Amino acid sequence: MDDVTRTNTGKVLYPATGFTKGEVLDYWERISPVLLPHVRGRPASFKRFPDGVDAEGFFQKNAPRGTPDWVHTVELPSPGSTKGRQTVRYVVVEDARTLMWAANLAVLEIHVPQWRVGPRGGVHDPDLMVFDLDPGAPATVVECCRVALMIRDELAAEGLSAWPKVSGSKGLHVYVPLKPVKGTRATAYARGLAERLVEREPELVVAGMNRSLRGGKVFVDWNQNNPARTTVAPYSLRARREPTVAAPVSWEEVEGCGAPEDLRFLPEDVLARLEKAGDLLEPIAKGDCQTPLPD
Ligand code: ATP
Ligand code: MN
C-alpha cells in the first residue's frame, strides 16, 4: 500500500528472532488477501506492541486518536456495559489500506467476534461457533488435536462442518460456520457438546467449572461463544516470543500431529503454505458452508 506511511521499519519487535517491524508490515501486506475476508464486518480489537513483545503491549478496542476518516469505524455498546451506556468506537478492517494503517501502529494481533455488523452498523447474530481448546500442562496442542477430532465427528453426525486453526499460542480453535444464530444458542450448543465429551473422556477433557482441574487435560472453552468475546483472527500474528501465526490447518494435519512443533508456523511458513494450498478456511471466508444449528 503506497499511501500508508511505514515508520520505524528497522525496529526489532521480536527480539528472540530479530523480526523487525518492517517484516511485520510485509507479513500483514502479503497475507492480506486471505486475512481480510475473515475480519471484514467484524469489529476489531487490536493488541499493539510499539516497543516489541518483550515490553508491555496493550489491547485497543477504541479507534485511536488520529484515525484517518477513510477507516471504517462503528460505535457499539461496550461489552462490559449492561445498559449499553458506554460505547466503543471499533475499527472494522475492511481493506488492505486499513490493515496496513493498523499494522504501522505496531498491531501484532487482531481479534474479532463471532458476528458481523451490517453496512449501517447493525449488529448481526453470530455466523460462527467456536470451540477454544486450551491445553493444561503437561498437555499440549497434541491433546487438543485429539479433542478437536472428537468435536469434528460429533458435529459431522449432526450435519455441521468444522474447521481447525492453531491459536498460534498454545492451543487450537475449531470453527463451525452457521446460519446466523443467537449467541446464547451457540453457547448452549457448544456447552452441551463439551459436556458430552467430558462424560466420554473425563481423563482428557474438562469443560466449565472444573477448569482449574485441567492439568494434563484440554479445557473446552464453550463460553467463547458469548457475543462479548473475541477470537484471534485467522492468519493473525501472535505477540509471543517468536512471531507465530494463528494458522488454519487441515484435518489431516490435526490427525497426524505428534508434537507441538508439527503445528507451529512462522510467517514464512504460512506464506509458503498459502502458495501451495490457498486459504484452508476459504469456505468460511466465502460464507458458503453455513448450516443451520440443530435444536
Ligand atoms: P491459547 O492457545 O494460548 O489459549 P488463545 O488465543 O486461544 O491462545 P485464550 O486465552 O484461550 O487465548 O483466549 C481466547 C480468545 O479470547 C483470544 O484469542 C482472544 O481473542 C480473547 N481474549 C483472551 N484474553 C483476552 C483479553 N485479556 N482481552 C481481550 N480478549 C481476550
Ligand atoms: Mn485458547
Does residue 48 sit in the same domain as residue 177?
no
In the numeric block, the cell 498460534 is attached to 168
* pLDDT number for residue 211: 64
C-alpha grid cell, residue 41: 464486518
Residue 108 lies in a domain: yes
Residue located nearest, by CA, to atom 31 of ligand 1? 230
Question: The domain containing residue 26 runs over which residues?
Answer: 12-112
Does residue 44 sit in the same domain as residue 87?
yes
d(CA 3, ligand 1 centre) in Å: 32
Which of 72, 88, 112 terminates a domain? The answer is 112
Residues with CB under 5 A from ligand 2 (ion): 132, 134, 171
Residue 289 lies in a domain: no
Global confidence as pTM: 0.97
Does residue 108 sit in the same domain as residue 132?
no
d(CA 184, ligand 2 centre) in Å: 20
Which of 112, 137, 153 terminates a domain? The answer is 112
Residue 206 lies in a domain: yes
d(CA 132, ligand 2 centre) in Å: 5
* pLDDT number for residue 208: 78
Ligand nearest to the CA of 260: 1
* pLDDT number for residue 59: 97
Residue 234 lies in a domain: no
d(CA 170, ligand 2 centre) in Å: 7
**Residues 186/129, Cβ–Cβ less than 8 Å:** yes
* pLDDT number for residue 119: 85
* pLDDT number for residue 79: 81
Residue 23 lies in a domain: yes
- Per-residue pLDDT reduced to its tens digit, 10-55: 999 999 999 999 999 999 999 999 999 999 999 999 999 999 999 9
d(CA 190, ligand 2 centre) in Å: 15
Residue located nearest, by CA, to atom 26 of ligand 1? 59
Does residue 139 sit in the same domain as residue 257?
yes
d(CA 60, ligand 2 centre) in Å: 19
Strands in 172-177's sheet, in edge-to-edge order, are 163-166, 172-177, 128-135, 218-221, 205-206
- Quote the Cα angle for 283-289-294, to 5°: 145
Does residue 32 sit in the same domain as residue 98?
yes
Q: How many CB atoms lie within 10 A of CB 286?
A: 12
CATH number at residue 208: 3.30.70.3300
Atom of ligand 1 nearest to the CA of 170: 2
Ligand nearest to the CA of 113: 1
* pLDDT number for residue 85: 75
- Which amino acid is located at 212 in the chain? S
The residues, any chain, with a CB within 8 Å of residue 12's CB and separated by 6 or more, are 18, 19, 20, 21, 52
Residue located nearest, by CA, to atom 15 of ligand 1? 231
Residue located nearest, by CA, to atom 14 of ligand 1? 231
Does residue 180 sit in the same domain as residue 67?
no
CA distance 139 to 31: 31
* pLDDT number for residue 226: 97
* pLDDT number for residue 2: 52
Overall domain count for the chain? 2
Residue 147 lies in a domain: yes
Does residue 147 sit in the same domain as residue 177?
yes
Does residue 107 sit in the same domain as residue 143?
no
Mutate to test the pocket of ligand 1, among 131, 167, 229 (most ligand atoms within 8 A of CB): 167
CA distance 285 to 39: 9
Residue ranges, the chain, pLDDT below 50: none
CA distance 14 to 185: 40
* pLDDT number for residue 80: 73
Does residue 151 sit in the same domain as residue 222?
yes
Q: How many CB atoms lie within 10 A of CB 95?
A: 16
Does residue 101 sit in the same domain as residue 217?
no
Does residue 37 sit in the same domain as residue 66?
yes
Atom of ligand 1 nearest to the CA of 166: 2
Residue 2 lies in a domain: no
- Per-residue pLDDT reduced to its tens digit, 232-254: 999 999 999 999 999 999 999 99
* pLDDT number for residue 121: 87
**Residues 141/263, Cβ–Cβ less than 8 Å:** yes
* pLDDT number for residue 125: 98
Q: Return the SS3 of 288.
A: coil
What is the pairing mode between strands 231-232 and 107-112? antiparallel
d(CA 218, ligand 2 centre) in Å: 10
Does residue 22 sit in the same domain as residue 76?
yes
Residue 240 lies in a domain: no
Pocket of ligand 1 (CB under 6 A): 45, 59, 111, 132, 134, 167, 169-171, 224, 229-232
Which of 79, 112, 145 terminates a domain? The answer is 112
